[in-house]
Each structure stands twice: as C-alpha cells, then as structure tokens.
Amino acid sequence: MDIGMRHLHVTAVLLLLLFILFKTVLLVANKTEQLDRIRDKTKVVDMILGLLAVATGIYLITLKPTVEAYLWIKILLVLVAIPLGIVGLKRHKKPLAILSVLLMVYVYGIGETQSYKFKRDPIVVEKSDQAGREIYQRLCVECHGEDGKKGLYKSPDLTSSSLSNLEMTDRILNGKGIMRGYKNELTGEQVTAVIDYISTLP
C-alpha cells in the first residue's frame, strides 16, 4: 500500500508536469487556439491527476514521523505553483505559466533530493556511545522503526539481516531502491556507529 501510493504520487506528478510543460510551450509559441482546445479536452484528466497527486502526497506525509523543512517548502511552493499555472494558461499570461513550470520543476527536484538546496547537509551529532542510536532515530526510524522491523516501503527486518557489515555500510552510504544513500550526510565513523546500534536491536 505504501509503495503503491508512492508510485502513484510520482506518476501523477510527472504526468501533470509534462502536461503543463506541453501547454506552456504552446503558449510561449503563441499557439493559443491549439492551447485552448487542448486545455478544454484535458480538463477532467488534469483535475483527476491533480487530486491524485495531492491526496497521495498528503497520505505520504502522514507516514513521516516529522515534517522536515524541505517538505514544508515543497507544500508551500505547490500551493503557489498550481494557481499560477491555472491562471497563466487560462489567461494566456506567459510569465505566470513559465514561473509555474519553473516552480514545479524545482519542487520536483526538492522531492527527489529531499532538500531545497538539492544537497543534504552532513548530520551533526556529538561523539558518544549514543551517537549510533541518535542517528538511527533521526534518519532511519521512519522506514525501519524503533525495533528495526517496521517494514515501511517493504524495508527488510534489520534484526535478521544477512548482510555483512561491509555490505551494510555500502547499503547505507549508497542506498538502494526507495532507500536513499547517506554518503553526503554521514561519515564512515557515523555509519559504523549506526551499524553497531542496529546490532544491539533485540
């Protein structure tokens, strides 16, 4: 269910983005008659895709333990970009439509990189025997859960993983599938601390 929702969200967003991009290109090329015809024909599809994107987005946010800054920015920009795009394409205002497309592309980048700077900052935690636990709580609990068995997005039970420490390190630094890599955020020492912490999970 959670994976399906995520695929649905990304698909709806990408289709919407392509449609809006296409219509904006028509507008910029002064093909306004064609634009109006297409707008008329795709009204219902646009509305369904828009509702799907927003509804699945809200559902995915409810899965998050905390709403990070990048997510608030994403939500805010979406709320600005959608009306801009609608008004721009309807009233044939090129700057508005272009601004809307640019905002949406930026929002897409934020979603993909989970950062409004397109690059996540290194995690700062005090060196202590609790560092591994702290990092795990901050970065990993969302999908793997306090006990390592939560299984969000089909993540495997960490307490029964058959991976070696080396393979785990690689998985954490480089990610796989839905799990992103943490090489920009974690030092080698921090990754070792998290793996040590995972090995203490009952």
Judged by CB under 6 A, which of 155, 166, 174, 202 binds ligand HEC? Answer: 155
On whether the CB atoms of residues 194 and 180 are closer than 8 A, the answer is: no
Q: Rounded to an integer, what distance in angstroms lies between the CA atom of residue 186 and that of residue 25?
A: 42
Q: Rounded to an integer, what distance in angstroms lies between the CA atom of residue 171 and that of residue 198?
A: 14
The least distance separating ligand HEC from the CB of residue 3, rounded to whole angstroms, comes to: 8
On whether the CB atoms of residues 32 and 23 are closer than 8 A, the answer is: no
Query: Considering the rule CB under 6 A, would residue 143 count as an interface residue with ligand HEC?
Result: yes
Q: Which of residues 167-196 bind ligand HEC (CB under 6 A)?
A: 168, 171-172, 176-179, 182, 194
Judged by CB under 6 A, which of 2, 142, 170, 196 binds ligand HEC? Answer: 142
Select from 61, 63, 57, 200 the least CA-distant residue to 142. Answer: 63
The least distance separating ligand HEC from the CB of residue 159, rounded to whole angstroms, comes to: 10
Residues near ligand HEC (CB under 6 A), total = 22
On whether the CB atoms of residues 168 and 158 are closer than 8 A, the answer is: no
On whether the CB atoms of residues 125 and 190 are closer than 8 A, the answer is: yes
Residue span binding ligand HEC (CB under 6 A) among the ranges 43-51, 59-67, 81-89, 151-159: 151-159
Positions touching ligand HEC (CB under 6 A) are: 139-140, 142-144, 152-156, 158, 161, 163, 168, 171-172, 176-179, 182, 194
